Amino acid sequence: MKEPDEQSNRQSLKCNSDEGVGVCFEVFSARSLVEGGQDGGVVSALLAAGLERGLFACAVVVRRGKGYRAEAVVAETFDDVLKARGTKYLRVNTTVKFKGLVEAGKRRIAVVGTPCQVRAARKLQSNLSKNCPGLELTLIGLFCFEAFNYEKLREETQRLMGVELDGAERTQIRRGKFTVRVDGKDSMVSVKDLKAAVEKGCSRCSDFTAECADVSVGSVGSNEGYSTVIVRSQVGQRLLETLELKMGVVRKEDIVKLASLKKKRALSS
């Protein structure tokens, strides 16, 4: 990926089944050369590399719509990828868009999504594969502890932070804090205080790191400006082969802590 001395920061698990992160080949921290991406722009770089090398012809991504609303769209160019940069902490149905692409004759498709979206796409792939020979799916999973309902999140950020979510230039969850940037100024609140805005089904989900993905990406376990990357399959390895990344230090214990907490919450709900 880049210089040999940087490779030492990558932890190879040789396709082990790890209790904290799921089945994987490698876990490492990195940032890409893509400007403006969230937490180092690794997801944007993966999509750009896959499209450029023809590993997939298009990708289902989530793009910000009107205000802070989000929608699933199809990215076919680097410009499309750039327009979808940044994390949206809302639940979006990506499965319908993926199914529509298959019905339109597309066979090499990537999907970016949270653990529940990735799981749904993997299940749909299994159901469609018999009648759609040659279907190739690349799944890029996003770490997710919980997603928010748009209307309720808008209400809570106004009540707790005094900011208009629809005017947000950037939002980020890091170290238990939800940060909203409006007019260049950051306001933050504890994620725990946004409990009223959490989607109800999230409490029953036990998957934090998108264990069904080919590559999983998230900020937990890495320093600010970097992403933690979990490579889970040969498809994921191939996607990362020529990607230029600057390596960072990964703290796997941080990932395991949140993954375990989410599993416990699911068992008690």
Same domain, 103 and 159: no
Percent of the chain with pLDDT over 90: 75
Least confident segment among 10-24, 119-133, 153-167, 211-225: 10-24
Same domain, 34 and 158: no
Does the structure show a pLDDT above 90 at 159? yes
Domain boundary among 198, 217, 233: 198
The two three-digit tokens of residue 228, written as one number: 């933690």
Least confident segment among 30-39, 63-72, 98-107, 177-186: 30-39
The two three-digit tokens of residue 260, written as one number: 């375990």
- Within 10 A of 42 (CB to CB), how many other CB atoms are there? 27
Specify the CATH number for the domain of residue 92: 3.40.640
Same domain, 216 and 228: yes
Same domain, 40 and 109: yes
Amino acid 8: pLDDT: 39
Work out the mean pLDDT of the chain and round it to a whole number.
Answer: 89
Same domain, 8 and 136: yes
Same domain, 39 and 139: yes
Does the structure show a pLDDT above 90 at 129? no
Does the structure show a pLDDT above 80 at 18? no
Per-residue pLDDT tens over the stretch 185-209? 999 999 999 999 999 899 999 999 9
The two three-digit tokens of residue 261, written as one number: 């907490």
Same domain, 222 and 157: no
Amino acid 39: pLDDT: 67
Contact 61, 39 (CB under 8 A): no
- Within 10 A of 150 (CB to CB), how many other CB atoms are there? 21
Same domain, 14 and 140: yes
Per-residue pLDDT tens over the stretch 66-103? 999 999 999 999 999 999 988 889 999 999 999 999 99
**In angstroms, rounded to a whole number, what is the distance separating the alpha carbons of residues 70 and 237?**
29
Mapped onto helix, strand or coil, the DSSP state of residue 216 is strand
Specify the CATH number for the domain of residue 154: 3.10.450.750
Averaged pLDDT for residues 29-58: 87
Q: What is the pTM of this model?
A: 0.90
Banded model confidence at residue 144, pLDDT cuts 50, 70, 90: very high
Same domain, 99 and 208: yes
Crossing angle of helices 95-103 and 115-128, in 10° steps, is: 30
Amino acid 3: pLDDT: 40
Q: How many domains is the chain built from? A: 2
Amino acid 21: pLDDT: 83
For residue 33, the enclosing domain spans 4-146+201-268
Banded model confidence at residue 22, pLDDT cuts 50, 70, 90: confident
Does the structure show a pLDDT above 70 at 176? yes
Banded model confidence at residue 269, pLDDT cuts 50, 70, 90: confident
Same domain, 159 and 264: no
Averaged pLDDT for residues 171-180: 91
Amino acid 4: pLDDT: 34
Same domain, 103 and 35: yes
Banded model confidence at residue 175, pLDDT cuts 50, 70, 90: confident
Averaged pLDDT for residues 99-112: 95
Same domain, 130 and 245: yes
Instruction: Classify the phi-psi angles of 156: left when phi > 0, otherwise alpha if psi is within -120 to 50, otherwise beta.
Output: alpha
